Amino acid sequence: MSDQSWAGCFRGRRAGARWVLVALVIGAVTWTGCGDDEPSTSGQVGGDPAGDTDKGHDPVPSETSVVWETEQFQAVADQQLQLLVDDLERDGRFDPEVLAEVAATDFTGDRLHPDRMPVVHESGGLVIRRQETVVEDGSSGEHGVAGGLVESLDQLVSDWSGRSDVHLHFKITSVELEEGVARTRVLMEAGSRQGDRFTQLRSRWLCEWKLDGKRPPRLLSLRSEMLEQVTGSSPGGDGCMSTRRPEC
């Protein structure tokens, strides 16, 4: 994959000039581009989810069918991820009752935020940390195993309650369907602000979903391939804070 930043994937709603300048200067250490995973047009969550499915049609299989098509599965998986978007953006926290609608009872997953992350760039108060994890044969990442989806996601947003400009976006970039299970790659971006300080997170996830007849799919596992955290300040509430959407 190229050294093109994920800024090509996540266009800003309020990304300021300073962020653009920083992105140009540190392009060598920012995220790789959209690369080898070709997203479909319906794989965007957190932007305009109403436009992802045809109006008037239930994307869930009919009573007489339990065979999922790729586009059909992706539309319903988008809806499941949208539950997480709506929940976090409401108050900066994840509600365990909402997560119970998304995760299977036997869910296993990584701790998505390690205790320590290497600094890959620091300049003018802007700090970029990145952690890459090799995931092989479905094994857990180097960060340890979480006790459930609540613990996995709480690692990412442990102190976001009460912050402003909380946002979360997902983009499904690939889907593999097998009998009873689906596997997806998902791009995640989240961010928040506290005063003039901002936090921006970007991650790549490997997700496995349980397929159970016509019921919405439930997450069986969540593995993190990469996490990047950007922190800094932008006085006045503009500038570096990005609220981009996955639209590439």
Strand pairing category for 103-110 and 218-233: parallel
CB-count exposure of residue 40 (10 Å: 0-12, 13-18, 19+): middle
Helix (H) or strand (E) holding 18: helix 17-25
* Bridge partner residues of 169 (DSSP): 189
Q: How confident is the model over 163-173, as a mean pLDDT?
A: 97
Handedness of CA 93, 156, 105, 78 (dihedral sign): positive
Query: Where do we find the tokens 């912050």?
Result: 163
The domain limits of the chain are 6-246
CB contact set of 155 (below 8 Å; sequence gap of 6+): 111, 112, 113, 146
Phi, psi for residue 215 in degrees, rounded to 5: -70, 150
Look up residue 113 and give its two tokens. Answer: 């935020």
The DSSP code sequence of 61-103 is PPTT--PPPHHHHHHHHHHHHHHHHHHHHHHSS--HHHHHHHE
Q: How confident is the model over 123-140, as a mean pLDDT?
A: 74
Mean pLDDT of the chain: 75
* Residues 6-246, CATH architecture: Roll (3.10)
Q: Is the pLDDT of residue 214 over 70?
A: yes
**CB 245, CB 169: distance < 8 Å:** yes
Q: How confident is the model over 179-189, as a mean pLDDT?
A: 96
pTM of this structure: 0.69
pLDDT tens-digit readout, 17-63: 344 333 333 444 444 444 444 444 446 666 544 444 444 445 555 44
Q: Is the pLDDT of residue 123 over 60?
A: yes
- E strands present in the chain: 10-11, 44-45, 103-110, 119-123, 126-132, 145-146, 164-178, 181-194, 197-210, 218-233, 245-246
Distances in whole angstroms, Cα of residue 172 to Cα of each of 50, 74, 83, 169: 16, 8, 15, 10
- What is the reported pLDDT for 96? 92
Distances in whole angstroms, Cα of residue 190 to Cα of each of 53, 70, 171: 23, 26, 12
